[in-house]
Structure formats: C-alpha cells, structure tokens
Amino acid sequence: MPWWSPLAKGLSYFPFFFLYGLSNLIAFALQTLGYRRKVIENNLALAFPNMGIEEMRKTTTTFYKHVADIMVESIKSLSISPRALRKRVRMKHPELFEALHKEKKGVMLIMGHYANFEWVALAMPLLVPHPTFAVYGRIKNPNVNHWVVRLRERFGLKLFQMKDTYDFMLNQKTEAPLYVFMADQAPHKGKIKYRAPFFNIPTPTHLGAEKLAKTCDLAVVFIHVERVKRGNYEITPKLLFDNPQNTEEYQITNAHVAELEQLIRQRPGHWLWSHKRWKNL
C-alpha cells in the first residue's frame, strides 16, 4: 500500500463541497505553475489552428479546472457508494445494452480520455448487464499498481494488462462480455500501422479495438460522456456496428475516431490535452 493511501482514503470521506474547494486550489496551482502548458497549447494549436489567444487561454483554464476535479473525484472513488456513483454517472438509453445482452452479444465499448473517464469506467458494471472488463497499463511501482487495480475494480470491473489483451480476449469464456477501451492513446513509434484523420491531421492510431471487435464478433459502441454539472456525468451510447465482421478495413477505427473528435469539439476543455497525442507525426 502506498504511504499516502490512508491520507487519500481519509480525504475521500469529506463532503463534495470541501473536495471541490480543494480542487479549486489545485487548479490554481496547476495554472500558476504552468503544468505542461507548452504541450497543451501546442496540441490546441494543432487541433484548432484558428483558435485565438483569448479562446486558447479560456480553454486552458477550463482544462486545469477539469483535471483538478478528476483528481478529487478519483479520491472520492475510494469511499463513494454504488448508489451515490449511479446518481452521479447516469446512462441514457440503457436499453441498447439490455438488447445486446439479451441477444448474448458481446460489446467493444470505446471511449476517450474525456470528462471523468475514471468514474465512467468505475461505474460501468453498475450500468450495464454485461460482465465488464477493461485493459490497463501496469504501473511500475507494484504497491501503487495494486492500489489502483483495487480502486478500479471496486464495483465489479475486471482489469487485464495491456500485454495480455489478445490472449485474454481470444480465450474469454464469459458469455457476452463488455470490454472498455480507451482508444485515443498514441501507439509507440515503432508500432504505427495506420493514421486516422483526427482534427484534419493524419494521426497514428491503435487498431486493436477494430481487430478484436472483428475477431471476437463484438458489437462496437462509442459512448459520448457529458459533464452535466460539477460531479455529474451523463453517458449517451451510440451503436456504431452490430456486425463488425462485415466492415471494411479501418472503417471501425475511422468511425470511433470521428465520434471522439465530434465530442471534443463540443467542449474542448474536457479532453486530456496534456498528453502528447501528436508526438509521432
């Protein structure tokens, strides 16, 4: 257990108004210190070449506030109840998943690092009838890794390591599983096999979600996540393909990348601009 774990657990019992006060201080510190400001501004300039200085400043400020809220909401995850999480992360049109489950159809659920992606993944087993799994990158520190896995699996989500993805999914015996994939990470430079159009930029993109959806015959669903108000999120699922094996090459990848771009354009400050998405152009 990390040394700071008891402190985080203690903080998690504080009410939301206190945690959001802490979030305001964190956001102020991040902005004052210019946390990854150059990366954020370079990314925004690439994605929105016509964005003015004032709009970029406002978007950057929104981003820092958003990241600070994710931090304190992640702390709250340590003690939040299933009932409380369901109230704060709501699923529109749950009948989509109910129908797929009734047909015994597995799901490739694709999302991006948008809104509170941690809460969405944490809550997913509470919102869908499918057994729910998610891929994750192992953290080098074993104590921190164990702590993070325990946190993310609190409500029934089962994690598997990125390096085990194909073996895990191809040998899956569970009926109608649902896999949560964050599909907006950049592949390693030596593993780039395709560049999808993303903000009019040919962007290196992972093909794993498409390949596994076809191989495992999984319905492809993209989820739009909207921050309704502070600490409250609404998920709108969109069925992209119910028969992925009949799609053309890259069709699934292009479709989910386009959905993510559409989502980001609506509220740019809620995407994770601090990671170097276009580092391998």
pLDDT of residue 147: 85
Q: Is residue 15 part of a domain?
A: yes
Q: How many domains does the chain have?
A: 1
The pLDDT confidence band at residue 279, using thresholds 50, 70 and 90, is confident
Higher-pLDDT residue of 88 and 278 is: 88
The pLDDT of 22-49, averaged and rounded, is 97
pLDDT of residue 281: 74
If you average pLDDT over every residue of the chain, what do you get? 95
Range scoring the smallest mean pLDDT among 28-32, 117-121, 149-153? 149-153
Q: Is residue 281 part of a domain?
A: no
Question: What range does the domain containing 35 cover?
Answer: 5-270
pLDDT value at 3 more than 70: no
- pTM of the prediction? 0.94
Q: Rounded to the nearest 10 degrees, what angle do helices 251-266 and 208-215 cross at?
A: 130
Q: Is residue 29 part of a domain?
A: yes
The pLDDT of 88-105, averaged and rounded, is 98
Higher-pLDDT residue of 64 and 148 is: 64
pLDDT digits (tens, 9 = 90+) for 141-167: 888 888 888 999 999 999 999 899 999
The pLDDT confidence band at residue 1, using thresholds 50, 70 and 90, is low
Long-range pairs, 264-268, Cβ under 8 A, ≥24: 264/47, 264/112, 264/114, 267/226, 267/227, 268/44, 268/47, 268/48, 268/59, 268/62
pLDDT value at 39 more than 70: yes
pLDDT of residue 154: 95
pLDDT value at 45 more than 90: yes
pLDDT digits (tens, 9 = 90+) for 241-268: 999 999 999 999 999 999 999 999 999 9
pLDDT value at 198 more than 90: yes
Q: Is residue 231 part of a domain?
A: yes
